[in-house]
Amino acid sequence: MDTIQASSGESNLREVLRSNECEPQCEPTQFRNYSHSEIILENLQSLRKNEVLCDTGFETKDGTLVLGHKNVLIAASPYFRAMFDNFDESNKDLVNIRELDSMVLKILVDYIYTGEFIVTKENAQVLLSSANILQLDFVSAACAEFLQKQLDASNCLGIRAFADLHNCTDLLSSSETFIKKQFLEVVKN
Amino acid sequence: MDTIQASSGESNLREVLRSNECEPQCEPTQFRNYSHSEIILENLQSLRKNEVLCDTGFETKDGTLVLGHKNVLIAASPYFRAMFDNFDESNKDLVNIRELDSMVLKILVDYIYTGEFIVTKENAQVLLSSANILQLDFVSAACAEFLQKQLDASNCLGIRAFADLHNCTDLLSSSETFIKKQFLEVVKN
């Protein structure tokens, strides 16, 4: 067993504060490290990048392997929680992800370890649908917000259908409002 | 293998956005979830409390067992990083912590999972010395700040000796300044 030993030589000092009457300034004080959770997550991402203590991996059809820590993935995604709860022993360490491309998978796992991601015209829809699967609600909402800003007469019908398919109520509502307002322009397209 | 499948029926929509000229509002957009790291840490604490995926434990001399996740402990403390790097296979899952009492151990592990802790007149010194061992700098600094506020003629010599023993340079400096200013009062005590 490894052992943590407190440094010696302080037992004679330990009573120093107890011997006094308590002044108002020595009331129990709560401290909070406001950057703590960010530092922990940054360090967990660093562990992942260095493949330290990774206990699961996702393999896409193009053979890409994305490693991670089950506890972090579970902490971010109810989908992963359900997945790892239902794993049997024989296949607990590798998940085969069909239909998700490596790029999207990397973006979503990186989001789990950083809280950040970039939405582009190219990835907005596939990112939203994949985030819906993993129940990463912030990503889904951000992609919907991005798509809402793209609405124009040429794409509003497609975006409306997409929003309907993926149960994006705000985006569905926005696209329907847009279609009504720009009806003549939409018909021309 | 478990499988994630993207929902079907969207391939015909995927080109919707690509077919347009890019307007200024469809530039790649970075999103950041500012509460993400806090949520992850809260959920990791919840996993710990429910003993989910805990892969290590600390046992104190009074028989108390405090469970945790190695990756989170390593992400918070360079001391734990060194400890787990040096573990051999036979004893990797249990650490016997001598000299640290259960109360302090619980406070420090809870801090690692929450970023919060309470300093009292009773725990300030033992918490500081234990946080120094685990290299939890924020906790050490907070305890030193708390002790600095307690300085009076009756305890300043004890606090100075404690600060010297634990290399708390700010606290050492404050207590020495206090002693010089209140010299006559200190001598009376």
pLDDT (0 to 100) of residue B25:
62
Q: Are residues A61 and A51 in the same domain?
A: yes
> Residues B147-164: pLDDT tens digits?
999 999 999 999 999 999
Q: How many domains does chain B have?
A: 2
The predicted model scores a pTM of 0.86
- CB pair distance less than 8 Å for B53 and A72: no
Structural contact between residues B112 and B44, judged by C-beta atoms closer than 8 angstroms: no
In a domain, B3, yes or no: no
The nearest CA of chain A is from the CA of B28 a distance in Å of 4
Structural contact between residues B41 and B113, judged by C-beta atoms closer than 8 angstroms: yes
Q: Are residues A177 and A111 in the same domain?
A: no
Q: Are residues B74 and B133 in the same domain?
A: no
> pLDDT-derived band of residue A14, with 50, 70 and 90 as boundaries?
very low
Please report residues of B whose CB lies closer than 8 A to that of A140: none
In a domain, B7, yes or no: no
Mean pLDDT of chain A: 86
Structural contact between residues A92 and A146, judged by C-beta atoms closer than 8 angstroms: no
The nearest CA of chain A is from the CA of B35 a distance in Å of 8
Q: Are residues A71 and A94 in the same domain?
A: yes
Q: Are residues A40 and A109 in the same domain?
A: yes
Q: What Rg, from alpha-carbon coordinates, does chain B have?
A: 25
Say how far apart CA A45 and CA A60 lie, in whole Å.
20
Q: Are residues B65 and B128 in the same domain?
A: no
Q: Judging by DSSP bridges, how do beta strands A2-3 and B94-97 pair with one another?
A: parallel
pLDDT (0 to 100) of residue B8:
38
Helix (H) or strand (E) holding B73: helix B70-76
Domain end marker among A116, A135, A170: A116
Q: Are residues A107 and A123 in the same domain?
A: no
Nearest to B37 among A98, A115, A150 (CB): A115
Say if B158 is an interface residue toward chain A (CB within 8 Å). Answer: yes
pLDDT at A11 over 60: no
* Residue numbers of the domain that contains B165: 118-189
Say if B87 is an interface residue toward chain A (CB within 8 Å). Answer: yes
Average pLDDT of span A162-187? 91
What percentage of chain A has pLDDT greater than the value 70?
83
- Closest Cα partner for B133 from B110, B166, B91? B166
Say if B85 is an interface residue toward chain A (CB within 8 Å). Answer: no
Domain end marker among A87, A116, A145: A116
Q: Are residues B93 and B162 in the same domain?
A: no
Q: Are residues B73 and B127 in the same domain?
A: no
- CB pair distance less than 8 Å for B72 and A76: no
| Chain A with chain B: Cβ pairs closer than 8 A | 281
Q: Are residues B62 and B133 in the same domain?
A: no
> Residues A77-127: pLDDT tens digits?
999 999 888 765 445 678 887 767 899 999 999 999 999 999 999 999 999
> Residues A151-169: pLDDT tens digits?
999 999 999 999 999 999 9
Say how far apart CA B87 and CA B45 lie, in whole Å.
24
If 0-12 CB within 10 Å is exposed, 13-18 middle and 19+ buried, where does residue B24 land?
exposed
Sequence letter at residue B153: A
> Residues A30-54: pLDDT tens digits?
999 999 999 999 999 999 999 999 9
In a domain, A27, yes or no: no
Q: Are residues B52 and B99 in the same domain?
A: yes
Q: Where are the alpha helices (DSSP H) in chain A?
A: 36-49, 70-76, 78-85, 102-114, 124-134, 137-150, 156-165, 169-181, 183-188
Domain end marker among B94, B116, B138: B116
Interface of B with A in 128-157 (CB under 8 A): 129-130, 132-134, 138-139, 142, 146-147, 149-150, 152, 154-155
Query: What is the full per-residue pLDDT of chain B (189 aa) written as tens digits?
Result: 445 544 433 444 445 565 445 555 668 999 999 999 999 999 999 999 999 999 999 988 888 999 999 999 999 999 999 988 876 544 567 888 776 789 999 999 999 999 999 999 999 999 999 999 999 999 999 999 999 999 999 999 999 999 999 999 999 999 999 999 988 888 887
Strand partners, B119: A29
Q: Are residues A85 and A141 in the same domain?
A: no
In a domain, B155, yes or no: yes
pLDDT (0 to 100) of residue B57:
93
CATH number at residue B46: 3.30.710.10
Give the other-Cβ count within 10 Å of A173's Cβ. Answer: 13
In a domain, B99, yes or no: yes
What percentage of chain A has pLDDT greater than the value 90?
67
